[in-house]
Amino acid sequence: MELYWLLQTLEILSRTLGSTSDTSTIYISLPVPVPVLDGQGKQSWPLNDCHKNTNCPKLAMNRWDNITQQQNGTLNFFSVHHFNITGVTVTAPGDSPNTDGIKFGFCSNIRISNTNIGTGDDCIAILSGTSNMDISNVKCGPGHGISVGSLGKNKGEKDVNGITVRDTVFNGTSDGIRIKTWESSAAKIVASNFVFENIQMINVGKPINIDQKYCPYPPCEKTGASHVQIKDIKYKNIYGTSKNKVAVNLQCSKSFRCKNVELIDINLKHNGVEGGPSTAVCEMLMVLLVVRWFLSIVWLDCMVRAVMIHIFI
């Protein structure tokens, strides 16, 4: 049908040009189709019982070079270096299981920009061995936010460092920025040098979340605290609304306390049904809290979970 109308248009133009002495050139711009990759995951989502079946089989997948399209994850990158992603849209229903938008493992020098992701799991998952990643101008929602991890579950995992997330919007996600490590971890690694800056939260469940007791399908075996060391983390100019009263949850390992965590200009308002102002919970970390309304810098050595910090709004 489109070809028919194109031919009709060309015929009218040729007649018009033929009836005049004007020999000007006419340029015709045709729309460039946007490629769409349909993973057809809807048929397989009801078959996903991994939350209760420890021997669940992996679902079918198709592989092209370093890009994997599979039913339980949209785009997977492993051992990819010096790679740019821009202008990409990834969509899956908010209730679709294990549909990570983009997942990275053992990658370096990755740039993601001007990308829209809506899924039933992490919008972007950053796994073991990933370094030097810059994420900017991303819109995430629905989904579980942007996650570093989960880390520490398996032996042979490597450090994660040099991650920047900036100028990004989370809308209606369960989490915003999340670092998650298994409580009973097999690997002793370091997650360090992260910057999260200029980020808007719109009705997000847990806008800032460090979870070193990660257990997605309880009960989980507990053989000790996480061996993943989290350090040198900066949260700056993070603002918006939180569905939960605890807008900042910093739950670190008892064996490897978080080090050098900075909170600068955090402005998160609680808009949930509980009422009252936003709060923060910290456990086992040394946190540097810098609030724009005060000239002083406050060091908080959070030894117990009962310590609460108000998020100033």
Q: Which residues are catalytic?
A: 144
Distance (Å, rounded) from C-alpha 3 to C-alpha 313? 58
Question: Could you tell me how far CA 180 lies from the centroid of its own chain?
Answer: 12
Residue 270, exposed/middle/buried by CB under 10 A (0-12, 13-18, 19+)? buried
Give the other-Cβ count within 10 Å of 66's Cβ. Answer: 14
Phi, psi of 102 (to 5 degrees): -135, 130
Q: Using the 8-state DSSP alphabet, how is residue 33 labeled? A: P
Contact 68, 101 (CB under 8 A): no
Distance (Å, rounded) from C-alpha 251 to C-alpha 228? 13
How many Cα atoms occupy the beta-carbon half-sphere of 156 within 13 Å?
3
Residue 3, exposed/middle/buried by CB under 10 A (0-12, 13-18, 19+)? exposed
Distance (Å, rounded) from C-alpha 128 to C-alpha 136? 21
Residue 64, exposed/middle/buried by CB under 10 A (0-12, 13-18, 19+)? exposed
